[in-house]
Every structure is written in C-alpha cells, then in structure tokens.
C-alpha cells in the first residue's frame, strides 16, 4: 500500500552533466527508455510538453534546447537528425504527456516529479501549476517519501506498519488515525486518504514523512515502540509549527471534490482521445 516501484537507475543512467555541472537528458535516449519506437510519435509528445511549458510561463529554450545529432547510415555515411537537450522540468512535462498505459511512463512521472538532491520544479514553476497539478506533484513526493520511510522503519525494527503510520497521523491530526481521517472525509472503504487531500495538506504530510525519516536515521533510533513514538512526536511537532504560523489545522483543511485517482483516470481518457 505504501510502496511504489520506481526504477531510478534507468533514468539516472541516461542523465548527462555538462562542463558547467548542469544536468540534462537527450530526447532520443529518453524516447528509447519510454519505449517509443517512432520519433514522429515521440515528437508529438514533446510538442505537447512544449505547449505546457509555454502555458506555465516558462521560456521554452531554457528547457527544450533544439540540437542536431549526426547518426551513421548505410555504407559509412551519416546524416543529421533532430534532437533536444532536455531539462528535468522538460522531462517531467514529457512524462506527463506520454502514454500512461506504459509502466515505464508511470515510473518516469514519479522520478521526474520527486525531489532528490535538488528542486526539480522551481518556486515559479510550482506556483504556476493548477491545484490539481500541485496535488499530483505532492502526491508523487509522498509516495517516494513513504517508500524511503518504510525502508528506514523496517531496518529499525518496525513490523506493524499500520500502527507505525497511524502514530504519525495521530501526532499531526490531534489523535486521529488513518481510519478516523477517512471517515471524517467521507471516503469509501480502503480509499486512500492521501489521494483525497489538497496540496497544502499533502505538503504537511510530506514534511512529517521526510522529517521522521531523517530523525530515525540521524539519531539511530531502533525498536518498534521507539520508532512509533518518534513518528508521533514528529507529527505533533509539525502540527505545532502549523499552529505557531497561524495556519489551518490539517483536520480543518478542505477535502477536494475529486480524488487523485479520478483525476488521473480523466487525464488518461483525455490522452486516449487525443
């Protein structure tokens, strides 16, 4: 329930670093990884991503550098083909517009959306996203964060993960468990509460997740009870921080009209009808 299968290496392996230390990906290489056999079809995806880049107020040339590449053809001859030098944000937009029925595309959407060593989306880029886009972005981050947190908790001795995650929710939501939150939101049985949160509520949970992960690692906390207690305390501390800043308490944040599962399904239908 809390894990996500992300093959990070496949995208890391095709990443390039230029002489200035800036990262980029080549469109031709990304095309192969995303299992597109024809450049024409992949170029259609790139064009949609470029439109999305323009609509977000970004300079296209900063993210999609149109470059040529020489390839060998028959009898030792060569010819120039179209290619793009892509930023991480460009790859994110391409993944969002690619065929989501492919598993590798779903992995790309997560990989290029998450934060690893540095921010993938700048503050300006994030601010220009719609609320639903922010929710999708934050949800991808919580998936990645929960995966890392589960691995850390498991190594520290956690076996009952429902109890472990509820400890964090109790701290953040003033004693509410995941089931309590689901009931308050009026969700169906086994419907994911994180898929039914707004971007601000997701961000609060992401902070809880990442800070718990860091504290467990940095303080070398071991033992199921100690790990659960740490998760509760971090959740409570995040709650206190929200209160000190005069923010809205998590349980008082509005539940969106549509779950992210519904939004992803609608987006998939739109792509299929394009």
Judge contact between 48 and 97, C-beta under 8 A.
Answer: yes
Q: How far separated are the first and last CA of the chain, in Å rounded?
A: 32
Q: Which residues of 59-76 are buried (b: 16+ CB within 10 A; e: fewer)?
A: eeeebbeeeeeeeeeeee
Q: What is the pLDDT of residue 2?
A: 33
Q: Which of 84, 103, 120 is nearest to 34 (CA)?
A: 103
Q: What is the pLDDT of residue 266?
A: 81
**Long-range CB contacts (within 8 A, 24+) of 189-192:** 191/259, 192/1, 192/259, 192/261
Q: What is the pLDDT of residue 53?
A: 85
With a cut of 50, which residues of the chain have pLDDT below it? 1-6, 115-119
Got the DSSP string for 29-67? HHHHHTT---HHHHHHHHHHHHHHHHHTT--HHHHEEEE
Q: Residues 44-60: pLDDT tens digits?
A: 999 999 998 887 777 89
Q: Which residues of 116-138 are buried (b: 16+ CB within 10 A; e: fewer)?
A: eeeebbeeebbeebeebbbbbbb
Q: What is the pLDDT of residue 119?
A: 47
The C-alpha atoms of residue 156 and residue 115 are separated, in whole angstroms, by 24
Exposed, middle or buried by CB within 10 Å (0-12, 13-18, 19+), for 53?
Answer: buried
Q: What is the pLDDT of residue 141?
A: 86
Q: Which of 163, 168, 193, 199 is nearest to 181 (CA)?
A: 193
pTM (2 decimals)? 0.58
**β-strand partners of 83:** 67
Q: What is the pLDDT of residue 43?
A: 95
Q: What is the pLDDT of residue 160?
A: 97
Give the DSSP letter of residue 220: T
Judge contact between 212 and 146, C-beta under 8 A.
Answer: no
Q: What is the pLDDT of residue 57?
A: 76
Q: What is the pLDDT of residue 12?
A: 82
């Amino acid at each position: 329930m809390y894990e996500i299968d992300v093959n990070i290496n496949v995208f890391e392996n095709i990443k390039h670093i230029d002489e200035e230390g800036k990262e980029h990906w080549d469109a031709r290489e990304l095309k192969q990884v995303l299992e597109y056999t024809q450049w024409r079809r992949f170029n259609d995806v790139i064009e949609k991503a470029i439109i999305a880049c323009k609509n977000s107020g970004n300079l296209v040339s900063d993210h999609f550098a149109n470059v040529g590449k020489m390839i060998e053809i028959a009898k030792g001859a060569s010819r120039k083909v179209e290619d793009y030098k892509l930023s991480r944000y460009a790859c994110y937009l391409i993944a969002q517009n690619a065929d989501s029925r492919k598993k590798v595309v779903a992995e790309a959407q997560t990989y290029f959306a998450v934060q690893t060593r540095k921010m993938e989306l700048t503050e300006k880029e994030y601010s220009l996203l719609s609320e639903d886009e922010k929710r999708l972005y934050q949800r991808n981050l919580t998936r990645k964060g929960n995966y890392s947190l589960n691995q850390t908790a498991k190594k520290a001795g956690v076996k009952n993960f429902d109890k472990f995650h509820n400890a964090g929710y109790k701290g953040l939501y003033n004693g509410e468990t995941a089931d309590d939150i689901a009931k308050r939101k009026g969700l169906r049985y086994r419907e994911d509460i994180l898929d039914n949160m707004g971007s601000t509520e997701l961000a609060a949970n992401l902070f809880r997740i990442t800070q718990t992960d860091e504290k467990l690692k940095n303080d070398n906390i071991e033992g199921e009870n100690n790990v659960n207690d740490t998760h509760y305390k971090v959740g409570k501390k995040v709650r206190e921080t929200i209160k000190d800043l005069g923010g809205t308490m998590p349980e008082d944040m509005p539940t969106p009209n549509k779950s992210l599962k519904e939004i992803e399904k609608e987006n998939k239908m739109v792509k299929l009808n394009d």
